[in-house]
Structure 1
Amino acid sequence: MERFTGKAVAITGGGSGIGKATAARFVAEGARVVINGRDVAKLEATAREIDPSGRNVVVSAGDIADPATGAALVEAAVSRFGQLDVLVNNAGVFNPKPFLELTEADYDWYLDTILKGKFFTAQAAAKAMKDRGGAIVQTGSMWAIQAIGATPSAAYSAANAGVHAMVRNLAIELAPFKIRINAVAPAVIETPVYSTFMSAQQVRDVLPTFNAFHPLGRNGQPGDVAEAILFLASDQAAWITGTVLPVDGGVTAGRQ
């Protein structure tokens, strides 16, 4: 099934993890994609892997905390593909640290990357979409819905709660332009983000201990979230806007 033939998609945090899996699925369903991230070499390698032809994936590197980066990403889609139909606001950062140890720099890192980045990238996308409609999907977080003692994340969770609130507000404001906006709220997904604060051996040791945390008995994979993102971006979700969809193996439903 090719739900996105002729569509142009922009994805932040597209070089690895959920963003990379999502980009690959969009291309498989006929879309042309611009991927953003901070590491241009990683982006280019991802683009070659997803689309060896070089025709359907382009890169737009930069730190999404700078509003100019989001504007450049949208401009790359419009200039290369003539339009922007879908924005996947996926870029994020994660490094659990106790509240009493969080610094202003930590706080700014979370709020700038997760909330400010998504806010201004969504604004740039909405300006490009307002005459033709479109869909925006944010990657929020289960941690914004429920606190987990094992992974203290006050600033991260606060930033993602802002992302969830933005979804509801923008759903109302952008509905007259036929722009839908929704979010996914993942629990533990096995992505490279854990390697940013744990050694390879720690990742191998620690991640499996979270399998049982999820009622369905396993951690999530990037593809689990990508499928939910594609659904929310597709015409199958044409009457869905302003929602936050948990993709969490049952965590927010309750405890065993």
Structure 2
Amino acid sequence: MSQFENRKLLVVGGTSGIGLETALMVAQQGGSVVIVGSQATKAEDARAQLERVATAGKMFALTADLHSAESVRTLIETLRNEHGDIDMLVNSAGIFYPVSFLEHTEKDYDAFLSINKAFFFITRHIAESLVEQGKPGSIVNVTATAAKQAIETVQATSYSMAKIGLEAMTKHVAMELAKDKIRVNAVAPAIVETRIFERFIPGDKLDDAMAEFHSLHPIGRNGTTEDVANTIVFLLSDKTSWVTGAVWDVDGGMMAGRMLAK
């Protein structure tokens, strides 16, 4: 029997990057998967990728604007009506672009922080459903090393506020739900090579910029989506049944290296 057969995963932010890679791994290992993205075409393309690798489960794609409370409520209602059997959740959606503290606008702040509100209430719905059914479950949030370590050249104030808030939510919810056999953990990646950097680094400079980031990691390279997804899948699985409330640095040694440097 495959590791995730007869289980169903919801990935919020599952149409690209770490979220999609996690969804692919679970699909390959027998699980059913529901991915949530902001664009219908992109979500359907991702669902088709999942279908190509799926070994047992069924694949679904939903869309929602995580910045809109109304859209999130509609998503939750769809999950309630059509996907009451979800027992795994990954909150992986996110945006990043550098903006200095003195130039921050309210729009910038809301762009980063409103995603946490969506995570909060989607997670509450999944947990409530599991408790009502008396089922165990596993939840993994994707935070960032930037939440714990400020770097002068990385302008990420509200982004880091959002990520450290997600880390706090991870620990508190883990304690509340432990009695219900619902585990809640998080991964904190350093620099992972995803398309998110294309938003603010010109295409002709992207390769050089990413090459410069390698040196920030003691292990000598940036992370890949597979590096992080492997750890997420491990935390979702029963192999980590005694792990809850943990925030694991998946960062090529960045946090350890910076702490030693101090």
TM bucket (normalised to shorter chain) is: over 0.9
**1:23-172 matched pairs, under 5 angstroms:** 23-52=23-52, 56-67=58-69, 69-70=71-72, 72-73=74-75, 76=78, 79-80=81-82, 83-113=85-115, 115-130=116-131, 131-172=134-175
Distance in 2 (alpha carbons) for counterparts of 1:197 and 1:136: 31
The answer to whether 1:213 aligns with 2:212 is: no
**How far apart, in 1, do the equivalents of 2:162 and 2:79 lie?**
27
Quote the Cα distance in structure 1 between the aligned partners of 2:58 and 2:48: 10
Shift of 1:76: 4.8
The alpha carbon displacement at 1:51 in A equals 1.0
Q: Which moved more, 1:127-136 or 1:5-14?
A: 127-136
Give me the whole-angstrom Cα distance separating, in 2, the residues matched to 1:27 and 1:133.
20
Distance 1:57 1:75, change over 3 A: farther
Match of residue 184 from structure 1 = 187
Alpha-carbon distance, 1:221 to partner: 0.4
Determine the C-alpha separation between the residues in 2 that align with 1:30 and 1:73.
25
Q: Which amino acid aligns with 1:120?
A: F
Equivalent pair of 1:74/1:128 in contact (CA under 8 Å): no
Check the 8 A contact 2:12/2:36 in 1, yes or no.
yes
Give 2:165's aligned amino acid.
G
Where does residue 21 of structure 2 map in the other structure?
Answer: 21
Q: Which moved more, 1:30-39 or 1:52-61?
A: 52-61
Return closer, same or farther for 1:76/1:226 CA change in 2, 3 Å cut-off: farther
| Structure 1 vs Structure 2 CA RMSD | 1.9
Moved more, 171-180 or 30-39: 171-180
| Cα offset, 1:50, TM superposition | 2.1
C-alpha separation in 2, matches of 1:77 and 1:31:
17
Shift of 1:192: 1.1
**Partner residue, 1:175:** 178
The Cα offsets for residues 82-110 of structure 1, whole Å up to 9 and x where unpaired, read as 50110001101111111111111111111
Tell me, what secondary structure is at the counterpart of 2:234? helix
Structure 1, 236-245 or 60-69: larger mean CA deviation = 60-69
Distance change >3 Å, CA 138–CA 67, structure 1 → 2: farther
Q: Could you tell me whether the CA contact under 8 Å between 1:12 and 1:37 is conserved in 2?
A: yes
Question: Which residues of structure 2 form unaligned runs of 5+?
Answer: none
Classify the secondary structure of the residue corresponding to 2:52.
coil
In structure 2, give the amino acid aligned to 1:104. Answer: E
Contact map agreement 1:33 1:77 (CA 8 A) in 2: no
Distance 1:181 1:232, change over 3 A: same
Aligned residues: 255
| Matched residue, 1:10 | 10
Q: Measure the CA separation in 2 of the matches of 1:124 and 1:64.
A: 15
Q: Tell me by how many angstroms 1:80 deviates.
A: 4.7
Q: Normalising by the residue count of structure 1, what TM-score does the alignment of the two structures yield?
A: 0.93
CA distance in 1, matches of 2:95, 2:37: 12
The letter for the 1-side match of 2:13 is G
> What TM-score, normalized to structure 2?
0.91
Question: Is this contact kept in 2: 1:111–1:155, CA < 8 A?
Answer: yes
Percent identity, aligned pairs only, is 38
